[in-house]
Structure formats: structure tokens, C-alpha cells
Homo-oligomer: A and B are copies of this chain.
Amino acid sequence: MGENSGTGVAFTRSPATGEKALYGEYLMNAQGEDVVAGIRTPHPISMLKEEMPETYEEFGRVASLLEKHYRDMQDLEFTIEHGRLYMLQTRSGKRTAAAAVKAAVDMVGEGLISKEEAITRVEAAQIDQLLHPRIDPNSKTEVIAKGLPASPGAATGKVVFDADDAAAKAKDGGKVILVRTETTPDDIHGIVAAQGILTSRGGMTSHAAVVARGMGKPCVCGCEALLINYNAKLFRAGAVEVKEGDLISIDGTTGSVILGEVKMIAPELSDEFRILLDWADQIRRLGVRANADTPLDAERSRQFGAEGVGLCRTEHMFMASDRLPIVHEMIMSETIEERTVALDKLLPMQQGDFYGILKAMDGLPVTIRLLDPPLHEFLPNTEELAIEIAKLRLTNGDPGEIERKDAILRRARQLHEFNPMLGHRGCRLGVTHPEIYAMQVRAIIQATAQLLHEGYHPETEIMIPVVMSAIELKLLRTQCEEVLQSVEQETGVHLEIPIGTMIELPRACVTADEIGKVSDFFSFGTNDLTQTTLGFSRDDAEGKFIPAYIEKKILANNPFAVLDRDGVGKLVKMACELGRSVSPEIKLGICGEHGGDPNSIEFFHLTGLTYVSCSPFRVPVARLAAAQAVLRKCIAIEE
């Protein structure tokens, strides 16, 4: 107290950007608590330079000393009494992801810490923030309200006010933003279905905020300006009225609520981030590939440093609007001749798809997974169709149309399954309908031959999904090789194309020695492996009981986000050991969502896998986490 006395907090580097300079605030002739409570207006630290230049200079020396001593950026609490500087407290400074990266890289440059230490300074999960799509700052946006930036990322969708509506619309592929005053556990299925969440109440630790962050989904909370009218199904933000079904966008990184659709841009890596990731690449043992289904995704993966495409899914190629009618033809076919006509139409389209991806990833391995989803996913919803037909009949609709829809309904019902995830999908389709896989394999191999001919260097790999036994795999492998030999003969080109398998069923894990004898590589599909090992249907469990399980501490984490080491991990380990026992050099990859999770990546490193593969936006996270796994000395079961 008294003259030239005050209290303040300071940071040796910006907690927002990591920029090296003194940041902070102080209040002269005031108690410390007042600074925090905001009763009077604090001065920025830079003002201290003018007011008490010697104290300021001393501050700078002390701050530098403390940084050097603790070898990290510091949060400082200080007091100045009668011109004398007293440091009250110092600790490692809180920082955003961007700040963490810059500070770490700068400190290596300053000789304060090593590259290895720099890598451990950045939380892999934190840098996810840097990798979400954000709103193009050059685009014109009409910001109609602002709330708390509760979970980063931007999203666009049609407004829905109800979790059931969100789930229903999403089921048909619709993109929605769930708008509520707040959310409760009963809304989980709506949160899961939506692109983003917007609430008018609640803070950074509200239900919506916590759940959205957990799912990596954009969320703006506590947007008090919103006045929601559930009955009228609209909300007001100032003068603007937004109705159910209108398009809005939210930016969970800034808290903005925007009318209409916005242009989003892919995230970029800062220079420091690139440098840090280069160091990570030198340290890590695990390879990092990306899951990419399109040339664009493949290109993006390369930019993020992926060493290949660990999983190219082929299903969406069948879903595209120009292919879907042909796929319908294929499914409605009663004979193999009819089906072949449809497949012949699809072949050149598929070949074009594969040509594009292999070209984008030229020189790097691309592992293409043969068709996986159950056939019924390509047909219309039976309930809606049945209602349509009932209405047509009641209103004396056109008999031809009724007959046509009825035929589709009958076929859709035939294909209906009780548990589609465990039904006639994946390689089972390849066994009962070999012509479908034969078409895909031909398309893949012809695309490869085409690129070779044009002077490129495709590194194609073929992967068979949902395999449960060596005999099953051998049968399908033989069918693939027959097509390969045909194309080799037709083109006169010799092709080396590894044929491997997903390991995504418990039986595949426990018989991996047998499977390893007929497989060129394994790729763990940990999503399905988690579903079958735990007996948890992901689409049902996440909405209905995983939150309760976490709340009651039966599960520490969502097993679909963080690999269940004791259960699923044990089977993965077993499969690796069995596979290597018959094929010591066999490549072992993982392409489930866990491939982008730091905790799981550590497990994969310890288990000796060859590479992880994850979505393009998570490739930087994986590169960093793989390096951290090397540096961490002991197995961290709990984080």
C-alpha cells in the first residue's frame, strides 16, 4: 500500500499466441483480489515501463531468470511496494494450443529446452483446436449473435429445436444445428446427430459444452441474445427471426452465430507448427497415414504430412447421386446377368475414382478397402416407403406406381436385417456375390495399370473387410488374384499389389496366426473391434448408456474415442503376436478412429504396430502423439 505500490499478474509470453514479451496487468495501490474481481481498471504491463522503468527492467530480468530456471513460460503474480518488486508466485503458464506450439519452438531456438522437451510441452489433444475448419475471414458473414466459444470449430446446418428432430433429419443425411436453451442427457442422440450445438444459456462447463467438446463438435453456449420459442419453432436474435429449417452457422472458436451458410476454410499449419512436427517425425517410430476417400482428402492428407492412405473406403463412391440409380439396379437384380449389366456401368466410374486417389497419393501407399456396408443402406427407408404406399392405396393412387414402390419395398424388406452391423456386409457380400468384388478389384487394378502406363508410381494395396477366418480370406484372396492375373494378361503389365485384411472381429484376433499366413498385412479396424469386443453398438451405446457408464465410472472414457486397453487392446496385442509368429515382417496398421487419439496412439506404439491411420485433420495430432509415445517412459494407463 502506499505510493508506488501495486499488484499484478504477468506472463513471460502471450498465453494466446506464445509471442515472447511481457504481458499482463497491474493495479497500483490495490489489493491483489481487486485485480481479479475487476473493481478497478488495471493497467497493462507496458505502462509500468513508463511509470517505474527501473522496476520494469528488474521485472524483465527476474522473469527471464524464472523462465530459464523453470525452462518454461511463466504465469507470475507480483506486488510492488514502495517501488520494490516482490514475486508472489510463479507457475507454468496456461496457454492456448497456438501459444504452446510457438513458445515450445521458440524456446528450442533460444537454447532453453531440447527438441524432445518441446514435443512433450504441447498437448496432442490440444492442438486439435488448430485443425478444425474455420470460417473464411474473407467471406461476408452476418453475425446475428455472440455466445461463449464452448467447443472449437465451425458448422453449418438447418435449425432444429428438438433432439428427436435432429436425429430424424440426420438419419436422412441432413445437416442440422441443434438450438436449445440448454441440453440435458436426454438430448444426447440429438447432439450426436447435429453438426453443431447452440444454447442460449449455460457456460463453458454446461452439459452442451462438455459433451460437444468430448465429441469434438462445434458448440456455442450461453448466447443470451437468443430468445427461443419452442412452440412457434423459431428464435429471435435482436431483430432477426430464424425459423426451424433455416440455415445458420456457428463458430465454436469465436462464439459467433451467423445467418445462413458460410464459406469455411481448411486449417493451415503455422511455421512453428511445421517445425515442431518435423521434430516429431524424427523422433517417432510409428508411421502415420490418413483415412481418405477422395482425391481432395488425399491431397489434404499429404499436406498434413501423411505417409500414405491407410484406408480408402469405397462405399461413398456407390452413394453418389449419379451412381445410386445403378446401385439400385444392382440390388434389385434377380439374376447374375442383370447384376452384371449394372456392375459393368459402375466399373468405369470406380476406375475413375481409384485413378484419382492413386494419382493424388502418387508414390505413397494407398490401401483400398473393398465394399463394406450392408446392401440395405443403399435402399430407401422401409417405414417411409410403407407409409407412402399405404397413402397411395387409400387415395387411389396410380397402380403402376404402387406396384413399382411395392417391388422396392419387398426387396428392401428382404434385405432388412435385425443387426446390420453383424449382418450381410463386408466380405460376406464378396463370398455370396463375388461379382461385386470382382468389379471393384478390376477397377482398382486397371487404374493402377493405367497410372503405371502414364509414368506414375502408384502403390496400391487391396484390403478385405470384416474377415473372420483364414479360409474366408483365402477364398477371397484367390478371387482377387484371378482378376489380377487377368488384367496382367490383358495389359501385359506386371503388378505387385499386396492383399491384406482388416482385423476387426475378435475371431480374427484370436486366429491371427492362421490369417497371417494368407495376408500381406493387417489393419486393425478398432471401431468395429470395439463394437464386437464390448458388445456395444456405437450408434446405440453413445446415445443410450455410455454417458451413464462414464458417470458411474464403469468406463473411464468413451471406448470409441480412447482405445479400451484392457479389453480391445488385449486382443490387438494378441493378434500382433500371433501374426508376427508366422510372418515376422508383416505390416500392422490401425485405421479406426483411435488412430487419431493420443492415448490410443501410445498403446499402438507400445504394442509395436507399424503405422496408424486417421482422418486428415488428425494427422498432425498423430505425428506429435507418436513422438510423445516414444518419449514417455512408462505406460500411462490413466491420463
Contact = CB atoms under 8 A, between A and B. Distances in A.
Interface of A: 164, 382-383, 386-387, 390-391, 394-395, 410, 413-414, 417-424, 428, 431-432, 466, 468-469, 471-472, 475, 504-507, 510-511, 514, 528, 531-537, 539-541, 544-545, 548-549, 552-555, 564, 566-568, 570-571
Given A419-B421, A419-B539, A505 B531 contact: no
A273 B485 CA distance: 60
Nearest to A567: B507
B540 A417 contact: yes
Given A431-B548, A506-B571, A564-B507, A536 B418 contact: no
A541 B391 contact: no
A613 to B, nearest CB: 21
Contacts of A571: 506, 510
Contacts of A475: 552, 554
Nearest to A566: B511
A468 B390 contact: no
A505 B544 CA distance: 19
Given A386-B383, A386-B387, A419-B421, A535 B528 contact: yes
Contacts of A386: 383, 386-387
Contacts of A419: 419-422, 531, 537, 539-540
A546 to B, nearest CB: 10
Contacts of A570: 510-511
Given A383-B386, A506-B532, 18 more contacts: A417-B540, A419-B419, A419-B540, A420-B540, A422-B531, A422-B536, A424-B545, A431-B552, A432-B544, A469-B555, A471-B553, A472-B549, A504-B535, A506-B535, A510-B533, A511-B566, A511-B570, A532-B535
Give the 9 A-B CB pairs with smallest separation, nearest first: A419-B537, A422-B537, A507-B567, A423-B540, A506-B506, A505-B535, A424-B544, A419-B419, A418-B539
Contacts of A545: 424, 428, 431-432
A414 B534 contact: no
Contacts of A424: 540-541, 544-545
Contact of A469 (B383, B420, B554): B554
A532 B528 CA distance: 10
A544 B564 CA distance: 32
Contacts of A552: 431, 475
Contacts of A539: 417-419
